[in-house]
Structure 1
Amino acid sequence: MALSAAQNLPHAQAPTMEYAGVRLEQLSLEHAPDLVALAEQGQLDDAWFASTPTTQAMAENIEHRLALQQAGKMAPFAIIDLATGRAVGATTYLNIDAANHRLEIGSTFLAISAQGTGINPAAKYLLLQRAFEQLECYSVAFCTHWHNAASRAAITRLGAKQDGVLRNHKYDPVTGTLRDTVLFSILPHEWPAVRTQLNARLARHSRI
């Protein structure tokens, strides 16, 4: 199914996908209690350049993602740990450009307790597999703040290549700063190597 034929229309549901003990499913307000609980475990990311939702803003963040879905701009997923059946984070397809077969994977946050367990690589596997093997994307992008060195390293470790830096790309009214955005991407011919690397990481976590 080509991306142009599945345009993430406003009424479309994010598909349910499972792999390596992880399920991605349509995000909803029903996931709010789990996501609030994981936020209460500790700051998901307390760095000044992060934009992860707080405990108080979690429901509002979910509603914002659902509004973007209704506008055809986002497909939001809850990340479910099948070992517990609970939501441990959220992620999205965003900046969907059906005409040019492009999308971005981002707006991701994950419980501290789930980090380093293989859940994030499994989620990325599912999103990338659908993007390249079903939606037939020409390019899948990842964007992060210039100062978020950990995120940049993680995206590079995923196998994405850096395309460039968008200087003064976004204004943050909370900090009063301008963000330089680092843009990465994966192309279709790179997906087999990325898929192999992800499976190797999941095997090290005994998830496959």
Structure 2
Amino acid sequence: MQQRTNEFGQPIGAPVPDWHGAKMPDDTPLTGRYCRLERLNVERHADELYDAYGRASDARDWTYLSVGPFDSLDAYRAHVSRIAGLADPCHYAVIDLATGKAVGTLALMRIDATHGVIEVGFVTYSPLLQKTRAGTEAIFLLIQHAFDTLGYRRFEWKCDSLNAPSRAAALRYGFTFEGIFRQAIVYRARNRDTAWFSIIDSEWPAIRPAFNTWLEPSNFDAQGAQVRKLAELVDAQRERVRADAS
């Protein structure tokens, strides 16, 4: 694409015609094949979530989070009471449709509807949700909602740069690594360099079908193992789009 310039000969960005901002998330549940996302609620979800998190053998899942672990149900319920009604972060419980139980949480956050930027964060999966189809689908439902319903232009994923599993997950989901913000925050009395990832709206049409194909029941064998990896499907779909555009 030829670089645009203004009347002074200065380079300027691509036009964004008729942009009027994106919508804020509301209380609408998001339902897929394997899970449903509901706005977090103390009475509906806290007890089930505390039980689900308690199935972990140790507290390693909380290392890179700014909260937890919680040593009692009362402490966890108090935490959920503090965050459940917030507009930003907007916290969701992940409901396993097979059991009807809440098995994890995640949030939409740093919501900038004016400029169309939104982030997923506070991803807190219990052992019942980790490495499952529902866990992947929960991320897909949020991205799909942000782009296709709410009209955002940019969807972000950020994590501690030392959090290797989170960085690998972002790449698996089709996010592009953008770099490291050094000494970005202090949490748990320690430094955090933050790794930034994003998907932008022009990339989503290539990523969406890869998720849909991966989530199809036919993509899993009789033992429940995936036939094709999500990252492989994302790469193949991107190559297809590039070939069609050339």
Band of TM-score, shorter chain:
0.7 to 0.9
SS in 2 for 1:100: coil
1:192 equivalent to 2:205? Answer: yes
Q: Structure 2 vs 1, CA of residues 116 and 132 (structure 1 numbering), >3 Å: closer, same or farther?
A: same
Of residues 126, 130, 146, the one that matches 2:161 is: 146
Asked if residue 63 in structure 1 is aligned to residue 81 in structure 2, the reply is: yes
| CA radius of gyration, larger in | 2
Report the AA paired with residue 23 of structure 2. A
Q: Which residue of 2 aligns with 1:6?
A: 23
Measured on the aligned residues, the alpha-carbon RMSD in Å equals 2.2
Q: Which 5+ residue runs of structure 2 have no aligned equivalent?
A: 1-18, 225-246
Structure 1 contact 14–77 (Cα < 8 Å) conserved: no
Q: 1:16 aligns with which of 17, 26, 29?
A: 29
Please report how far the alpha carbon of residue 108 of structure 1 lies from its aligned counterpart in structure 2 after TM superposition. 1.1
1:80 CA displacement: 0.2
- Say how many residue pairs are matched: 197
Match of 2:39 among 26, 29, 52: 26
* Alignment map for 1:26-175 (pairs within 5 Å): 26-30=39-43, 31-42=45-56, 43=58, 45-46=60-61, 48-51=63-66, 53-55=68-70, 56=72, 57-69=75-87, 73-172=88-187, 174=188
Shift of 1:205: 4.3
Deviation of 1:49 after TM superposition, in Å, equals 3.2
Q: TM-score, normalised by structure 1?
A: 0.85
Q: 1:191 to 1:83 in 2, by over 3 A?
A: same
What SS is found at the alignment partner of 2:60? coil
TM-fit CA distance, 1:20: 1.4
Cα deviations by residue, 1:29-78 (Å, 9 ceiling, x for unpaired): 02100010011111463464344632334223323323532xxx222111
Cα distance, 1:144–1:86 mapped onto 2, change above 3 Å: same
- 2:136 and 2:61 map into 1 onto residues whose CA distance is 22
TM normalised by structure 2 equals 0.73
In structure 1, C-alpha distance between the alignment counterparts of 2:85 and 2:39, rounded to whole Å: 13
